[in-house]
Structure 1
């Protein structure tokens, strides 16, 4: 073995093989930790990232949970510094914006699977309640996705008049209410049901329709319309 061969890190050949596997066989051929490794190659160029990828999955439980984690939590994993945490959060945002662009170019009502995927990605791992509103035009295409309330682990303030005011500003014809349950259980509470009715009553005189109210959580997404609550 030559001196130059001895100096090649053991993980360098692994990187080349993993990149080749992705390019030749497609990303579906890679395990979750291998996809993370491939991503981390660019962020952490001079060390073996397989242990880091596996630790991230063990610590957070899933790829979606990793991307949704706070930067401070990410940097608690050995090998993840501020730069790598920032890149992971940027990757999450790229995915969200790509999903949002898809929704903006298609009628949401006829692309329900894409909507549910977007809602899950955005909210299922949030540790505080968020209340968001998807404002739609006459063709049921997305005008805007806006945060209308953010609160604690089990409550987010919501103001029906503020939602109505914003809908008029955007010339929205319909909307979809969205919020999350950090507890993990997407079952609507009595408060959720009553609040939804208040919003519907505030928008009804304005001829603005509430198509649905979605609750996102780790255990899934609940649709008020599917449950017969709207």
Structure 2
């Protein structure tokens, strides 16, 4: 194996010193990717490879969202590099989940949305997620319900109830995304939510909110006064709209 040139070695040292002092966010996208590529390319100059990947997939996020098969079509990308890049978004989501679960109180909708958006990062199809909260509004568990298409996901009542019971709490938040649309509920979303509120009420679980996400926006049915309420004592549905 050829030895690393002194010029290249010095460049890596400067990059590492810069990240250590100012963080990864101080780098341009191609520089950040070049830096990440050091993990599996211990000797190789990764600057050219970083540019080739961004040219192929559009931007830093596009590279990480690419499949391993597509990554391998770029000259210089081997199986280890393709696997590492493809895993990074999953690692980020897993870290966020572990860092928050059982620790941080979700006191506001904005805090909860920030956490939920991280779970949906890079998702190109509609998905549904149930978050179980404990008495202090801390995330106790996350349960993916169903994957859908680019513009639809089925919210099956039995799946929601089963996940809520598995969560072991009496308070849950339902969330799904609109990756190619706006953060507004459809008529089907509203009808499904009412049926879910009733079904959860029968097992003494309170639906605190149903949140719809896009990449940058959200719609909270609770904040918009569109979330029905089930009275545990009377079994009556109270509709705010």
Tell me if both proteins adopt one fold, taking TM over 0.5 as the criterion. Answer: yes
Counterpart CA distance in 2 for 1:225 and 1:61 is: 37
RMSD: 2.8
What are structure 1's unaligned runs of at least 5 residues?
none
C-alpha distance 51-189 of structure 1, shift in aligned 2 (>3 A): farther
Contact persistence 1:125–1:182 (CA under 8 A): no
The C-alpha deviation readout for 1:25-75, integer Å capped at 9, x for no partner, is 333432232222211111223333223334444554554444333333333
Q: Does 1:89 align with 2:86?
A: yes
Matched residue, 1:204? 201
Contact persistence 2:130–2:163 (CA under 8 A): no
Q: Does 1:27 align with 2:24?
A: yes
Q: Does 1:70 align with 2:70?
A: no
Q: Per-residue deviation at 1:156?
A: 2.0
Matched residue, 1:220? 217
User: What secondary structure is seen at the aligned counterpart in 1 of 2:82?
Assistant: helix
Contact persistence 2:175–2:213 (CA under 8 A): yes
C-alpha distance 219-110 of structure 1, shift in aligned 2 (>3 A): closer
Residue range with higher mean Cα deviation, 194-203 or 159-168: 159-168
Q: Which has the higher contact order (CA 8 A, sep 6+)?
A: 1
The C-alpha deviation readout for 1:150-187, integer Å capped at 9, x for no partner, is 12222222211332233224322111111122314333
C-alpha distance 73-129 of structure 1, shift in aligned 2 (>3 A): farther
One of 96, 102, 114 as aligned partner of 1:117: 114
One of 20, 41, 47 as aligned partner of 1:50: 47
Q: Normalized against structure 2, the TM-score is what?
A: 0.79
Matched residue, 2:77? 80
User: What secondary structure is seen at the aligned counterpart in 1 of 2:129?
Assistant: strand
C-alpha distance 42-223 of structure 1, shift in aligned 2 (>3 A): same
C-alpha distance 112-77 of structure 1, shift in aligned 2 (>3 A): farther
Residue range with higher mean Cα deviation, 150-159 or 44-53: 44-53
User: What secondary structure is seen at the aligned counterpart in 1 of 2:106?
Assistant: helix
Bigger fraction of residues in helix: 1
User: What secondary structure is seen at the aligned counterpart in 2 of 1:229?
Assistant: coil
Residue range with higher mean Cα deviation, 58-67 or 219-228: 58-67
Q: List aligned pairs for 1:79-228, cutoff 5 A.
A: 79-106=76-103, 108-110=105-107, 112-228=109-225
Counterpart CA distance in 2 for 1:116 and 1:104 is: 15
Q: Normalized against structure 1, the TM-score is what?
A: 0.82
C-alpha distance 76-195 of structure 1, shift in aligned 2 (>3 A): farther
Contact persistence 2:102–2:140 (CA under 8 A): no
User: What secondary structure is seen at the aligned counterpart in 2 of 1:109?
Assistant: coil
Counterpart CA distance in 1 for 2:25 and 2:76 is: 26
Contact persistence 2:134–2:171 (CA under 8 A): yes
Q: Per-residue deviation at 1:111?
A: 5.6
